[in-house]
Chains A and B, each alone.
Chain A
């Protein structure tokens, strides 16, 4: 907001005060209007928008305190500054209690006046910026990046929205590259904590001892090399969310510390006895079989049950092949923008290969394959020879056990290739549409 964008309304029954304030602010480029009494001021506030209102406390008719109440009813964000001829402490305190930004006693030192208005304008700018940032946060809701029309993904999204409204601890399970962090961020972005940070700790990336310092912070000289005090990630996540990625990788001591933290919501920095209270929500993820780790005694059973309040299991990409075309097209659109390439789609032949591939690296691998193809492709279509797989697989049915399993996977692949077009899929499969409908029903492949 630049000065001409800031509207200031001056309300005073003394013309000389109105005029002198008008001139004074005009030189700073603000948009200024004046009103001689409360009713004229209210009329002006109905007709135009103002950011700051300077109003005399004592005026004939409605006084400044009453006018301030009416202004706050119109728009509680308008900054009000009271003008008084006498330093009446009672009235001024009353005005401040009722929401005035400050008050000035006539006459005021020019420098104090400049500081006062500058601070009021700064507060208005920050409030404006805050509103814009909140709107921005809402528009970048990461749900847009979670692509999937398959029944299982629809159910996951439903669960995600339900759990986002609560403060329950969430455990996200899934193979590497299935989008566990994306889901965690989407839950945070849909929750009431979305205006506060989500702090990620990759539990697999730290050695025992280092992760404690990262999470809880430390005081100066708490250990060799601690040259200064440092806030931990838990403190940074206050009022927000802490995302513990690959929780299965933490050691025994850290498991105990975490359990105590979850029970008490209190902790102390390394090298300090002082207890710190924080308000956070935990979301954790794992690619390991934690139930098995609990049975083997490698992971605390108490902690497991504390963390596994709400469970979201992300399927590997090979179990939702029907989503592959839409995910691939999402990445094509995304990279077309970021790489500034005029690639609009993928050929049917190339798409069929994507749908049939096993995707051991899941969505992350699909993203990398598309990004690489986008870089090397010469035309406006990704072709088969643009695709490069790190783990090429010859058989796609090796893990399937029965004929029904093989049939289900094959129908799903063909539906993926045809983008869900029943007539086209039935034609490729050489079965009637009715038979295809029955099989879709049987294998629960409906979108």
Chain B
């Protein structure tokens, strides 16, 4: 039973170790990083100058190792789904896959000086949030919970990286019923 993190065309760095540790700690499941050669250019929409997140997620899932539990793709391009101007990430509710983009998590996107630590914290929250959906969790109305919906960057900064008690219980019972 493993959660696989698949960074797509982004350089591995210290942040990935933090991410792996946080996810493993949050879900209580072994986390591994695997590199896959995924061509994301076919998901590019020249009109919108963004990448269709659902297309990339499908490609990530298509090349996942056999018998794995959950997969989290990480990209640095700007993601969209057709009805929305952008998304921070996408997940399959109670499904195997999720994807997160670092593109709009960078301070420089908002015209501010870069802050690697802040970026790291934002990425951890978004990764846990999207993976939480794959564990069957819906958006949570408790403001501090990591499953609280985030539609702009300040939302992400305001919430914690932790599940509230109810969401934590939801994840535990999901894992228990899966095995």
Binding site for B on A (CB under 8 A): 14, 16-17, 19-21, 23-24, 26-29, 83, 106-111, 113-114
Contacts and interface: CB of A to CB of B under 8 A. Distances in A.
A106 B83 contact: yes
Contacts of A109: 84-86, 151
B83 A24 contact: yes
Nearest to A83: B83
A21 B93 CA distance: 14
Contacts of B86: 109-110
Nearest to A30: B138
A28 B149 contact: yes
B-side binding surface: helix, strand, loop or mixed? loop
A23 B81 contact: yes
Contacts of B80: 107
Given A27-B133, A109-B84, A114 B151 contact: yes
B28 interface: no
Contact of A110 (B48, B54, B84, B133): B84
Contacts of B48: 107
Contacts of B83: 17, 20-21, 24, 83, 106-108, 113
B81 A27 contact: no
Contact of B84 (A19, A24, A26, A28): A24
A107 B133 contact: no
29 contacts: A17-B82, A17-B83, A19-B54, A20-B54, A21-B83, A23-B81, A23-B93, A24-B81, A24-B83, A26-B93, A27-B133, A28-B138, A29-B138, A106-B83, A107-B84, A107-B85, A108-B83, A108-B84, A108-B85, A109-B84, A109-B86, A109-B151, A110-B85, A110-B86, A110-B152, A111-B152, A113-B84, A113-B151, A114-B149
B139 interface: yes
A97 B90 CA distance: 36
A384 B28 CA distance: 74
Interface residues of B, number: 18
B139 A28 contact: yes
A349 B85 CA distance: 82
A-side binding surface: helix, strand, loop or mixed?
helix
Interface in B49-85: 54, 80-85
The 7 A-B pairs of least Cβ separation, nearest first, read A20-B81, A111-B151, A110-B151, A16-B82, A29-B138, A20-B83, A107-B85
A35 to B, nearest CB: 16
A441 to B, nearest CB: 70
Nearest to B80: A107
Interface in B136-169: 138-139, 149, 151-152
A111 B84 CA distance: 10
Given A14-B82, A27-B138, A110-B86, 12 more contacts: A20-B83, A23-B81, A23-B90, A26-B93, A27-B139, A28-B149, A29-B138, A107-B84, A108-B84, A109-B151, A110-B152, A113-B151
Contacts of B138: 26-29
Which among A29, A110, A113 has the greatest number of chain B C-beta atoms within 10 A? Answer: A110
Contacts of B82: 14, 16-17, 20, 106-107
B43 interface: no
B87 interface: yes
B100 to A, nearest CB: 15
